[in-house]
Amino acid sequence: MAEGGVSCVMQPLWHATAAGLGQNAPMHAHDALAWTPAGWQRTAVAGATAADWIVPGIPNLHSHAFQRAMAGLAERQTNPEDSFWTWRETMYRFAARFDPDTLHAVASQLYAEMLEAGYSTVCEFHYLHHAPDGTPYADPAAMSRALMQAARDTGIRLTLLPVLYMTGGFDGRALGERQRRFGHDVDAYLRLFDLLHAGQGDTLRVGCAFHSLRAVPAEAMQAVLAALPADAPLHIHIAEQVGEVQDCLALRGARPVEWLLANAPVDARWTLVHATHLTDAETVGIARSGATVAICPTTEANLGDGLFPLHAYLDAGGAFGIGSDSQISVSPVEELRWLEYGQRLATRHRNIAVRADSTSVGETLLRGTLASGAHASGFAIGTLAPDACADRIVLDADAPQFAGMQPGDAVDRWIFSGNRNLVREVHVDGERVVAEGRHRDRERIAARYRRAMQLLFA
Ligand code: ZN
């Protein structure tokens, strides 16, 4: 429950406002310095002091928690043609080792790390549903519950996205042996969705993820969309690989984004993950639909996916957010920095992300990231407004990076001045879960993670 006893769950017609705080409210010297879409302002924030520099908590729009345990273990060449597809084989072998206990331990470690880095909400794109041979657990939601427990234990706000995964390719082939634990038919999927959705609470929302067009036949997508509640967030991996764009063209007669825009009611409920390979028309089409693009710059770089056309997309007014995805980096700072740096390397220009309303790259990226969080997660997050979720970060104003600086430079300093974590406190749902840069339960969670890693690698 948000401070003041008002639930911060987003209403279906809720829209993030550009002015997060009362712009005309009188300023007081004892008010905290708070970041708003209009820049830094002195404003009263419950529980904060004049020394605090406050930013809304950062939404992480795309996460596969189990992959935290394999971060750094796919960096040896297995084939001169190594690509996303050979990485995926490594990932499948690793995914086969998890059970609910090890998933809980790994997700807890990950979520504590996310909180320490400044992510206060995570959208978990969850497809490890069944036992490794594909048999459902006695409780068909056992793996989902492991993730929900990890979120409760750590205090992170969770949008759980159970994934519908039905086929091994656009041709409708059956799932491969290592994909069986991901699979449902439509009826079994909707039973799982209903079970999870009934447990929604103040810090838990349940949305729907379609794994990808190659894994979900068109009729199945339509059947699920017709059955879901009207306010459920919808996520999909859309165009990460050139190979899947080619297969989609061959078998559905259109590129993935082109097909989705023509065949699904794409609007602000939708988050398109890895919309990497786009034509100009698709770029503009997503922007006009109101959907959010979830960009995962460090993972997309790590996997050699390609580069999202950020500049054209922002020119078209598109909404975007970031995700830690494969967890090779758990840092909103690094995601935002590389979102900009990728564009600089490709264009040989600087300061690409800025729009007409600000010359600061950091502020532009932060503003966009926060503005998309509500639609993508289903929570009223991304602002410090009194009726929004009480989620905030307190930056370490005493850090050397901020010495002698005007507040107007703080976001650029935060994002573009190195790797020391400048997040001092994190509050979720009005509760402080990180103090002095450390999660309140860091040691116990890390000890359990070490035991789980011993089991996973035994
Ligand atoms: Zn993903």
Residues of the chain with CATH 3.20.20.140: 58-377
CB count in 10 Å sphere of residue 89: 13
- Listed in sequence order, the residues at least 6 apart from 75 whose beta carbon sits closer than 8 Å to its beta carbon are none
Residue 270: is it exposed, middle or buried by C-beta count within 10 angstroms (0-12/13-18/19+)? Answer: buried
Place of tokens 């491969």: 176
Per-residue confidence (pLDDT) for residue 21, from 0 to 100: 43
Residue 111, pLDDT > 90, answer yes
Per-residue confidence (pLDDT) for residue 22, from 0 to 100: 40
> How sure is the predictor about 223, in pLDDT bands with cuts at 50, 70 and 90?
very high
Q: Which of 129, 274, 277, 375 is catalytic?
A: 274
Q: Give the C-alpha separation, 283 to 286, whole Å.
A: 6
Per the annotation, the verdict on 325 as an active-site residue is yes
Residue 7, pLDDT > 80, answer no
How far does the centroid of ligand 1 lie from the alpha carbon of residue 108, in Å? Answer: 19
> How sure is the predictor about 39, in pLDDT bands with cuts at 50, 70 and 90?
confident
Per-residue confidence (pLDDT) for residue 8, from 0 to 100: 81
Residue 297: is it exposed, middle or buried by C-beta count within 10 angstroms (0-12/13-18/19+)? Answer: buried
Q: Which of 325, 396, 412, 429 is catalytic?
A: 325
Superfamily of domain 16-55+384-442: Urease, subunit C, domain 1 (2.30.40.10)
Residue 93: is it exposed, middle or buried by C-beta count within 10 angstroms (0-12/13-18/19+)? Answer: exposed
How far does the centroid of ligand 1 lie from the alpha carbon of residue 322, in Å? Answer: 12
Residue 226, pLDDT > 60, answer yes
Residues of the chain with CATH 2.30.40.10: 16-55+384-442
Among the residue ranges 157-161, 177-181, 267-271, the one predicted with the least confidence is: 177-181
Q: Give the C-alpha separation, 270 to 110, whole Å.
A: 25
Integer CA distances (angstroms), 55 to 35, 336, 348, 385, 411, in order? 5, 15, 31, 11, 9
Q: Helix crossing, 442-456 with 100-117: angle to 10°?
A: 140
Pick from 118, 115, 112, 102: nearest CA to 70: 102
Residue 19, pLDDT > 90, answer no
**Average pLDDT score, the chain:** 92
Q: Give the C-alpha separation, 424 to 395, whole Å.
A: 5
Residue 13, pLDDT > 60, answer no
pLDDT, mean of residues 374-403: 95
How far does the centroid of ligand 1 lie from the alpha carbon of residue 211, in Å? Answer: 8
Per-residue confidence (pLDDT) for residue 80, from 0 to 100: 87
Place of tokens 């407004």: 385
How far does the centroid of ligand 1 lie from the alpha carbon of residue 212, in Å? Answer: 9
How far does the centroid of ligand 1 lie from the alpha carbon of residue 90, in Å? Answer: 15
Q: Give the C-alpha separation, 63 to 70, whole Å.
A: 14
Q: Which fold has domain 58-377?
A: TIM Barrel (3.20.20)
How far does the centroid of ligand 1 lie from the alpha carbon of residue 64, in Å? Answer: 6
